[in-house]
Structure 1
Amino acid sequence: MVVDEAVATALREQSQAQVGVFVAGCAERMAQVFIGLRSDDPERGGDVDTVVLLLEELWSAEAPQQQFQEYVDSLSGFPELDEASDEEIIDAGEIYSFYAVLGMRYAALYRSSGDAETALKCAHSCLTAMGQLDQNIPVATFFAQEAECQQRVISSYPLGEVDEIAQLRNADQVISRERLEALKERLPH
């Protein structure tokens, strides 16, 4: 697994609330990729709305655990995670939409279960996506950026101040938009 050892250890040892902030950040950094690639498709409007609502809930420590299972079920029904398809995904937009949905599904699954191994899978899917993006663009910095974001969050523990969490989210939103822009440059026009 490509997740940094210190990050993996922290995810296994921290409170559910702290790890919840971690997976919310991972999902936030991937969200604009999905939203940006799917928002022009009228058939995906409901999916985009689901992602936007999920992000709000992921950042809320008070969101009920059982609600996240509904998000897991919903995301599992997205075409990106359709296991019935035997076709290999080769389109760049499809690949990164897949990773975005996968990361968000793991974030929701963590919040529904509290299983640290699921949080590790969330982190791993984000790193894998950024590693692949780095292989396909001239300036390869996204994998290192994702690893640094993950390390920054765990080194900030304990997080509890609303301002600290809001600053993290704002920074993650900026990163997510940068990823979408880099990906759009790679996609055929």
Structure 2
Amino acid sequence: MVQIFTGLCGDDPARSVDVDFVVHAVEDLWKPEVPSESFRGHMETLEGFQELETSDEQVVEVAGIYTFYSILALRYATLYRSSANSEDALKCAHACLTAMGQLDQNLPGVTFFTQEAECQRRAISESPLEDSNASHLSRLRECDRTVGRERLVAIQSRLAG
């Protein structure tokens, strides 16, 4: 989901600090040795993002919807890494599935929801992340990068249409 956020906000100079932070936070998520305290700070920073601000208005613009899901998923991921509460991991997974289900509904002929569900199944069926298995993490990360690029292209095509 981070590629969606950076792809949609990366050209906005007003969001450059947010983009840099998101990239840093995601880098930390892939490093098992980063202490949980770091993720508490990341989570607090994310809670200050405009995507998570309380509002009476619904987000209806395409970019706003997917940047919201991106930050929401990252918030739950950092929350999980700060507490190791499996409920937070489930909330992260749910945010990703919801975003991809919504994308599927708005673009004909795509199956991002199914793809996301399969990625999640594959991630949990292999060796646990706590094992610090570098090759496993590398494969997961490369898969996430590839999938993230495909999703960003799809969202950008929706914005252009």
TM-score, normalised via structure 2 length: 0.95
2:97 corresponding residue in structure 1: 127
CA RMSD in angstroms, aligned pairs only? 1.1
Partner of residue 88 from structure 2, selected from 118, 126, 149: 118
Q: Which runs of 4+ in 1 moved over 4 A?
A: none
Q: Is the 8 A contact 2:127 2:136 kept in 1?
A: no
Q: How does 1:82-101 map to 2 (within 5 A)?
A: 82-83=53-54, 85-101=55-71
1:163 corresponding residue in structure 2: 135
Distance, in Å, in 2 between the alignment partners of 1:155 and 1:65 is 24
For each residue in 1:83-136, what CA deviation from the matched residue of structure 2 results, as whole angstroms up to 9, or x when unmatched?
Answer: 1x2111110110000000000000000011111101100000000000000000
1:176 corresponding residue in structure 2: 148
Distance, in Å, in 1 between the alignment partners of 2:113 and 2:99 is 8
**Greater relative contact order (Cα 8 A, min sep 6): structure 1 or 2?**
1
Q: Is the 8 A contact 2:62 2:159 kept in 1?
A: yes
1:147 corresponding residue in structure 2: 117
Q: Any gaps of 5 or more consecutive residues in structure 2?
A: none
Distance, in Å, in 2 between the alignment partners of 1:165 and 1:78 is 28
Letter in 1 for 2:47: S
1:76 corresponding residue in structure 2: 47
Letter in 2 for 1:175: V
Q: Report the identity percentage.
A: 53
TM-score, normalised via structure 1 length: 0.82
Figure out how many residues of one structure are paired with residues of the other and give that number.
Answer: 159
